[in-house]
Amino acid sequence: MLIAVASKDGIEINQHFGHAERFLIYEVEDVQVRLVEQKAVEKYCRLDPDHPLRGDTLKETADALKGCRALVCAMMGEAPKLELERLGMETFVVEGKICDILPDLAKVL
């Protein structure tokens, strides 16, 4: 299964969803975790008071990550979480080593 991860360093799940300009896409099979690609996205957090929920950006992110079973990040606001889930993307907020977290997460998906 494919899982998208917000990571600053490719080792830890350590990035806030809204600060990510790319997501790392991992293929997870049993305990094997393999990076398969990176997807560039528009950063969600822009501190624009006129557009606090940037639905267009969320839809573009969900489209870019199509085929991924879940999105994992260190932090995420409730509004983007709910909107991404409405668009069909399961989201998880967790921190830790990618190679340790993803096999456990894949077991519950």
Q: Which domain holds residue 28?
A: 2-108
Query: What local confidence, expressed as pLDDT, does residue 70 receive?
Result: 95
Question: Is the model's pLDDT at 47 over the cut of 80?
Answer: no
Query: pLDDT (tens digit, 9 = 90+) per residue, 8-19?
Result: 999 999 999 999
Taking every pair of C-alpha atoms in the chain, what is the biggest distance, in angstroms?
45
**Are the CB atoms for 18 and 77 separated by under 8 Å?**
yes
CATH number at residue 76: 3.30.420.130
Helix, strand, coil distribution of the chain in percent, nearest 5: 30, 30, 40
Query: What local confidence, expressed as pLDDT, does residue 84 receive?
Result: 85
pLDDT band at 34 (very low <50, low <70, confident <90, very high): very high
Domain count, the chain: 1
Q: How far apart are CA 26 and CA 14, in angstroms?
A: 15
Query: pLDDT (tens digit, 9 = 90+) per residue, 59-97?
Result: 889 899 999 999 999 999 898 898 888 888 899 999 999
Q: How far apart are CA 52 and CA 17, in angstroms?
A: 15
